[in-house]
Structure 1
Amino acid sequence: MSSLQRLPYVILFSLIFLTKFARCVPFSPTKQEVQVHERASKAKEEPFCSLYHPGTGEFYDLSPLSRSNLSTKGDYSVSGYDFEANFTLNLCKPVTSNLSNYTFAGDIPSAESIGGFFVDERKRMFSIGEASSEPYFRGKKLIMELENGSRCPTSDDLRMRSIISFSCNRDPYASSSISYVANVLDCVFFFEWKTIHACPTVKKEATLSPLSVFLIFCTVAFLAYFVGGCMYNRAIFNARGLRQIPNYELWHSMFSLIVDFSIIAFASFASCFNFRKPSGIRLGEGTANNLDDALIDDIDTNT
C-alpha cells in the first residue's frame, strides 16, 4: 500500500486521537457560565479592594484610588463646607498623613488603621472610621463603609463611621472628585465619590497570545499525526522500529535530500578557500604505481 493510499487511514486515526484529547482539554465557557461561576465563588476571597456585581457579574476595581506612603499626592482632602472642618481620607488603606502633630480624641481604637479623620478648631483629631478594602453593593449603589472611629459626641456607646457612595464617571479626562454630603448627629458622615474606577470593567487575567495558541495547535496536530500514524502502522502493517513512523519513505527521502544539500553546501564553502594538498605528499600515487608494477609482473609470468 502506497503512502497516498494510507493517508486516509492516518487522518482517521488522527481525528480519533484529537477527539479523545479534546475531552481532556477545557474549552472557553460562555458568558452565562462565567457569571454563574463568579456568583458561586462569591464567598471566596475577592481581589484587593474590588468585587463582582452579584447580579450582573461585572467587575469593579477601586484599588487604583488607593494612596500609599510612596505616593506624591498624599491623602484626599475634602471640604466640609458648613461642618466647619475639612476631612482627610484615603481609600482601601490607612491614611498616609503624619498624625503625630495631633491630639487624638474620642478614644480612637487604633491610630495605625485610621481611614479618615478631621481636626477641630482645638487641634483635636477625630477618626471617622478605620480603613476598609471591602466595597459592596446596596441595590445599584457601590458603597464602602469606614467603621469603628472615635466615640460619637452625643453617645459614648456609638462610634463615628463614614459611608462613601461611588458614582461612575466615564470621562477619561476628568479627575476623581469626592465631596462631603451630610452627617447625622456628627456621628455618621456621608460622602459621594465620582470616578471612572467606579465603572464596570474586565478583570485582567493571564491569557495566551495568538502565537502561543497557534503553536499549541500545531503541536497537538503533529502529536496526533505522529502517534496516530505509528499506532496505525504498528497495528495494521506490523511495522517495527523506524518503519512505524507515518510516511517513513517521504521523511527518509527528505532527510537524505537535506543531507545531500548540506554536503554540497559544505563542499562549495570549502572550495572558496582553495584548500591544497601538501607539496611533499601525493595521496594514492605510490599505491597506484605498486599496483601497476604487480600487474606487469603477472603478465610477464603468464607469457
Structure 2
Amino acid sequence: MASSCSVQSGSTVWDLSSLANNNEDYTWTSSSGEKIVLNVCRSIVTEVFGIEDPDQVGAFVQGDKGDRSIGSILSNLTLTNSSPPSPVLLFPNGASCSGSSSLLSSTLIHFTCSTAAESTGPELLGTLPPGEDVGKACAYVFEWKTPAACPKSVGSHAILGDWGAVGVLVGLSLLILLAYFLGTVLYNRYILKLRGSAQLPHFTCSTPSISLPSLSNPFKRSSSSSSQPWGSWRRGNGYGRVPAEARDDEQGDSDEEEGLVGRFGLDSDDDDEDARALDGDSRVWRSQGTAATNSAGAGGAAKTGGGAGLISL
C-alpha cells in the first residue's frame, strides 16, 4: 500500500517517491544486532511474523520471539517549521509500548537534503524513553540524508493547474491591449492635440479577399469558331472544320495555283487591250467586206449593162 510522499509550499515541492522500494526494504542494525526494517512511501515488502495487517506496516523491529510493529503508513509527508523547511515522515500507531497499553509506538524520519550522488540510508538518532533497549523502545527518530529531499521549483502548470498556461496567455494579451490603448490615447491627446472620442483608438476589421485565376473550359467552343461540328458539310465550302495539317496543305495548294496564275495568266489590263485590238480588227474586217461587196456589185452591174448594150446593139 502506498502513501502520499510529496508536499508543496508555494512554488517549491518536495517529492520522496523515488525512495519507494518495491523489491526490498531499508534496514538499520544496532551494535547489539537488533535490526529495524522500514520502507518509504509504501508498506514493507519483507515477510513478517506475529504482526497483524502487515500491509499497513511502515517499520518494524525483528526479534527472536516475533516481529514488533513500530509504525503504520497512515500519515502523509509534512514539513518542519525550520528555515529552510525539511520534509518529515511519521509512522504512527505501532504496537503498544512496553509497560503501557495506552501508548502506541511510532517512528519519525527526518529527511535532509544532500548533494551526494547516493543516499546513505536511514540512521537512528535516538529512542524514547532514552537508554531503553531498541527492541523495547516506544518512539524512534531517524535521519535520512538523500538528494530526494532537496526542494524543487515547479512550473506554472503545477501552480495554476491545467488552465495555468491559458490563464498566463490571456493575462499577457490583456496587458498588451491595455498598454496599446493607453499609449494611443496619450499620443493622440498630447502629440496630435485631439480631444473627445477622436483621441480613442479606432479598431477596424477588414475581411481579406482572395482572387483566384479564372479557368477556361477546354471543352467550350469559342465564339470565333464555327458552330458546325467536326466533319460536317457546308454548301459551297466543303467540310466546315478540318485539322490544322489539312488547312496548311490546302493553303499550300492555293499558293501554288496563285503562283502559276501569276506566271502564266493574263492581267486585266492585257485583257482589255486585247479586246480593243480584236474590236478594231473586226471593224476593219467588216469595212473591207463591205467594200468588197460593193465593188462586186458594181462589177456585176457593169457586166449587166454591157450585156444589155450588146443586146441592144
* Alignment correspondent of 1:48: 4
Alpha-carbon distance, 1:180 to partner: 1.3
Q: Following the alignment from structure 1 to structure 2, what is the Cα–Cα distance between the partners of residues 159 and 95? A: 19
Equivalent of residue 67 in structure 2, options 117, 125, 141: 125
Alpha-carbon distance, 1:139 to partner: 1.4
Seen in structure 2, the aligned counterparts of structure 1 residues 295 and 179 have a Cα distance that, compared at 3 Å, is same
* 3-state SS in 2 of match to 1:156: strand
> Does residue 1:247 correspond to 2:208, yes or no?
yes
Q: Following the alignment from structure 1 to structure 2, what is the Cα–Cα distance between the partners of residues 157 and 67? A: 32
Q: Following the alignment from structure 2 to structure 1, what is the Cα–Cα distance between the partners of residues 95 and 106? A: 8
Letter in 1 for 2:94: G
On the 8 A contact 2:20/2:39 being kept in 1, the answer is yes
* 3-state SS in 2 of match to 1:197: helix
On the 8 A contact 1:162/1:188 being kept in 2, the answer is yes
The gaps in structure 2 that reach 5 residues or longer are: 130-136, 174-202, 217-225, 240-313
On the 8 A contact 2:11/2:153 being kept in 1, the answer is no
- The structure whose Rg is larger is 2
* Alignment correspondent of 2:111: 166
Letter in 2 for 1:181: L
On the 8 A contact 1:181/1:190 being kept in 2, the answer is yes
User: Superposition pairs for residues 111-122 of structure 1, below 5 Å?
Assistant: 111-122=54-65
Letter in 2 for 1:199: C
Alpha-carbon distance, 1:77 to partner: 1.3
Equivalent of residue 189 in structure 1, options 131, 140, 146: 140
Q: Following the alignment from structure 2 to structure 1, what is the Cα–Cα distance between the partners of residues 164 and 95? A: 50
Q: Following the alignment from structure 1 to structure 2, what is the Cα–Cα distance between the partners of residues 207 and 195? A: 34
> Does residue 1:154 correspond to 2:99, yes or no?
yes
Seen in structure 2, the aligned counterparts of structure 1 residues 176 and 202 have a Cα distance that, compared at 3 Å, is farther
Identity %: 20
Alpha-carbon distance, 1:207 to partner: 9.8
Equivalent of residue 200 in structure 1, options 151, 158, 161: 151
Letter in 2 for 1:79: T
Letter in 2 for 1:175: S
Alpha-carbon distance, 1:130 to partner: 0.1
On the 8 A contact 1:91/1:132 being kept in 2, the answer is no
Alpha-carbon distance, 1:202 to partner: 3.0
Q: Following the alignment from structure 1 to structure 2, what is the Cα–Cα distance between the partners of residues 294 and 81? A: 131
TM-score of the superposition, structure 1-length normalised?
Answer: 0.50
Equivalent of residue 16 in structure 2, options 48, 62, 66: 62
On the 8 A contact 1:151/1:159 being kept in 2, the answer is yes
Cα RMSD (Å): 3.6
Equivalent of residue 47 in structure 2, options 64, 75, 98: 98
Q: Deviations for 1:137-168, whole angstroms, at most 9, x for unmatched residues?
A: 22123211100000111311101100110000
* 3-state SS in 2 of match to 1:127: strand
On the 8 A contact 2:38/2:59 being kept in 1, the answer is yes
> Does residue 1:178 correspond to 2:122, yes or no?
yes
- Alignment length (residue pairs): 178
Q: Which has the higher contact order (CA 8 A, sep 6+)?
A: 1
User: Superposition pairs for residues 1-303 of structure 1, below 5 Å?
Assistant: 48-53=4-9, 57-68=11-22, 72=23, 74-82=24-32, 84-99=33-48, 102-104=49-51, 110-122=53-65, 124-132=66-74, 134-140=76-82, 141-171=86-116, 173-185=117-129, 186-203=137-154, 205=157, 246-248=207-209, 251-252=210-211, 255-256=212-213, 287-293=229-235, 295=237
Seen in structure 2, the aligned counterparts of structure 1 residues 48 and 131 have a Cα distance that, compared at 3 Å, is closer
Q: Following the alignment from structure 1 to structure 2, what is the Cα–Cα distance between the partners of residues 126 and 294? A: 125
The gaps in structure 1 that reach 5 residues or longer are: 1-46, 218-230, 234-244, 264-283, 298-303
TM-score of the superposition, structure 2-length normalised?
Answer: 0.49
Alpha-carbon distance, 1:232 to partner: 5.7
On the 8 A contact 1:161/1:189 being kept in 2, the answer is yes
Seen in structure 2, the aligned counterparts of structure 1 residues 75 and 143 have a Cα distance that, compared at 3 Å, is same
Q: Following the alignment from structure 1 to structure 2, what is the Cα–Cα distance between the partners of residues 287 and 208? A: 72
Seen in structure 2, the aligned counterparts of structure 1 residues 295 and 120 have a Cα distance that, compared at 3 Å, is same
On the 8 A contact 1:93/1:133 being kept in 2, the answer is no
* 3-state SS in 2 of match to 1:129: strand
On the 8 A contact 1:167/1:198 being kept in 2, the answer is yes
Q: Following the alignment from structure 1 to structure 2, what is the Cα–Cα distance between the partners of residues 57 and 232? A: 42
On the 8 A contact 1:93/1:132 being kept in 2, the answer is no
